[in-house]
A = this chain, B = another copy of it.
Amino acid sequence: MAKELKDLTKRADNYSQWYNDLVIKADLAEQSAVRGCMVIKPYGYAIWEKMQRILDDMFKATGHVNAYFPLLIPKSFLSREAEHVEGFAKECAVVTHHRLMNDPEGKGVVVDPSARLDEELIIRPTSETIIWNTYKNWISSYRDLPILCNQWANVMRWEMRTRMFLRTAEFLWQEGHTAHATREEAEAEAVKMLNVYGDFAENYMAVPVIKGVKSANERFAGALETYTIEAMMQDGKALQSGTSHFLGQNFAKAFDVKFINKNNELEYVWATSWGVSTRLMGALIMTHSDDNGLVLPPKLAPIQVVIVPIYKSQEQLDTINNRVNPMVEKLRSMGISVKYDNADNKRPGFKFADYELKGVPVRLVLGARDLENGTIEVMRRDTLEKSTVAIDGIEEYVKTLLDDIQDNIFKKALNHRSEMTTYVDTYDEFKKQIEKGGFIMAHWDGTPETEEKIKEETKATIRCIPLEGDKTPGVCMVTGKPSKQRVVFARNY
């Protein structure tokens, strides 16, 4: 067994440590010299690139285009929208100077006090303000609408406690910012993008999510409505995985963005914004992986199939190479990414453990005996099951198996979520249940006060008010007041 694997903490022993170990040992990311900022290593970045490419195609298929807006935001912009400043203007990186100079005492470089900026600049924590300041110049008539822009960018929030991928000071994300002529169109856009996120999470990441609306307490600073997809991790905690905001006319008012509507009247523009980030990497890792390492959905795995030869002589290796090379070519022509690892500086056992750790969905092993028998050994990473199958037609077999693994890990996660979801009607029962983790479906009277009380007493928050499913009214488990429908409570990342 490989050294790296031996040191991986077991989930049952310490889930949090297991996660940290796995991020490091699977070569996904590591801490940098800058507090709270991570280095995304090539293997981790390859997964993020696959996510980006798929999401970008989905955005374009729904009519969006990409653009790029400045990294730095004038400090005064943040104060324009009253709620936004409360949410974002506090813990952030502030640029105050634009020059360094040689230290007069000869010790490296120091800030040049004469190069102080007239107005401080903030590294964007999110870009609504700079973008709406730009849209002001792009919009004058209903003919200029809608604007459907997205940007892929880095953003920075000076978080006190950071964890790789889940909460880092700098992170990578996409942020869509759209402008519309009517309230209805903007609301429909926010819901459309929520559905794109839900589709991506379930059909590519194989992560089941509940789509819903945030309560007022959990809304984005400056939004009238925040839609969210909420996933459940293996430890029963919730992870907010993507949000889509209906911003009303708040930012249009803050930046004075008006248009002439079809009735020739001047009106403020309606807005949405929506984003997912490298946090999705955390959701992916924590939903599927196990004590042997990563488990990746085939649709996002940088390497979908690895082939390892077993041989005792160069002659045997040559024979195996001759059989494997056309197999690799065939698999690639089918759009499957394959690595043939016939490097001779590592033993097969080491390779097996390493590819398990890295979550490669399918492993094929071919030895001299197999060649004689016309067979090949297949191992699927999700169940670790091995089987020996005919080498003829292996390419089609692998293709079907990859689809099967994609389906299976989604179902497994869905089953896990079902098992960890309980319906609770009393607050006493709630307090007991929340200690066991998972989603609790309970009635709530709709007030911020009750939500706050529950959070203080149990550390559970309302993850969302689900858009689909059971809408039966009831009474609040805490106050006994009327409730329109059950909402999802959980402790969360």
Q: CB within 8 Å of B: which residues of A?
A: 30, 32-34, 37-42, 45-46, 49, 65-79, 85, 89-101, 108-109, 111, 120-123, 130, 133-134, 137, 143, 149, 153-154, 156, 158, 170, 172, 345
| Sample (25) of A-B pairs whose CB atoms are under 8 Å apart | A30-B137, A33-B77, A34-B70, A39-B70, A40-B67, A41-B67, A42-B149, A45-B65, A45-B66, A45-B68, A46-B66, A70-B170, A71-B123, A71-B156, A75-B109, A76-B108, A85-B108, A90-B100, A93-B95, A93-B98, A94-B95, A94-B98, A95-B123, A111-B120, A143-B345
B77, B78, B100: which contacts A94 (Cβ < 8 A)? B100
B30, B75, B109, B120: which contacts A79 (Cβ < 8 A)? B109
**Contacts A39-B68, A69-B32, A109-B79 hold; do A90 and B94 have CB atoms under 8 A apart?**
no
The answer to whether B98 touches A158 (Cβ under 8 A) is: yes
CA distance A70 to B345 in the complex (A): 33
CA distance A329 to B186 in the complex (A): 31
Chain B residue with Cβ nearest A101: B90
- A349 to chain B: closest CB distance in Å? 18
**Contacts A70-B39, A137-B30 hold; do A93 and B76 have CB atoms under 8 A apart?**
no
Integer count of this chain's copies in the complex: 2
CA distance A265 to B30 in the complex (A): 28
The answer to whether A72 touches B34 (Cβ under 8 A) is: yes
Contacts of A121 in B (CB 8 A): 34, 93
**Contacts A66-B49, A93-B72, A93-B95 hold; do A33 and B100 have CB atoms under 8 A apart?**
no
The answer to whether A99 touches B158 (Cβ under 8 A) is: yes
The answer to whether B71 touches A37 (Cβ under 8 A) is: yes
- A220 to chain B: closest CB distance in Å? 19
- A22 to chain B: closest CB distance in Å? 18
CA distance A79 to B103 in the complex (A): 11
- A170 to chain B: closest CB distance in Å? 5
Q: Which 3 A-B pairs have the closest CB atoms?
A: A79-B108, A37-B70, A42-B65
The answer to whether B45 touches A67 (Cβ under 8 A) is: yes
Contacts of A68 in B (CB 8 A): 39-40, 45, 172
CA distance A37 to B123 in the complex (A): 13
Contacts of A46 in B (CB 8 A): 65-66
Task: Point out which of A45, A74, A137, A153 has the most chain B C-beta atoms below 10 A from its C-beta.
Answer: A45
- A28 to chain B: closest CB distance in Å? 11
The answer to whether B91 touches A67 (Cβ under 8 A) is: no
**Contacts A98-B93, A100-B94 hold; do A39 and B134 have CB atoms under 8 A apart?**
yes
Contacts of A100 in B (CB 8 A): 75, 78, 89-90, 92, 94, 122
The answer to whether A99 touches B91 (Cβ under 8 A) is: yes
Contacts of A65 in B (CB 8 A): 42, 45-46
CA distance A72 to B156 in the complex (A): 10
B33, B69, B98: which contacts A133 (Cβ < 8 A)? B33
Chain B residue with Cβ nearest A93: B95
The answer to whether B70 touches A32 (Cβ under 8 A) is: yes
The answer to whether B92 touches A154 (Cβ under 8 A) is: no
Task: Point out which of A70, A75, A89, A90 has the most chain B C-beta atoms below 10 A from its C-beta.
Answer: A70
CA distance A134 to B33 in the complex (A): 8
The answer to whether A94 touches B111 (Cβ under 8 A) is: yes
Contacts of A75 in B (CB 8 A): 100, 108-109, 111
CA distance A85 to B101 in the complex (A): 10
- A112 to chain B: closest CB distance in Å? 8
The answer to whether B98 touches A95 (Cβ under 8 A) is: no
- A456 to chain B: closest CB distance in Å? 25
B39, B66, B101: which contacts A42 (Cβ < 8 A)? B66
CA distance A45 to B66 in the complex (A): 7
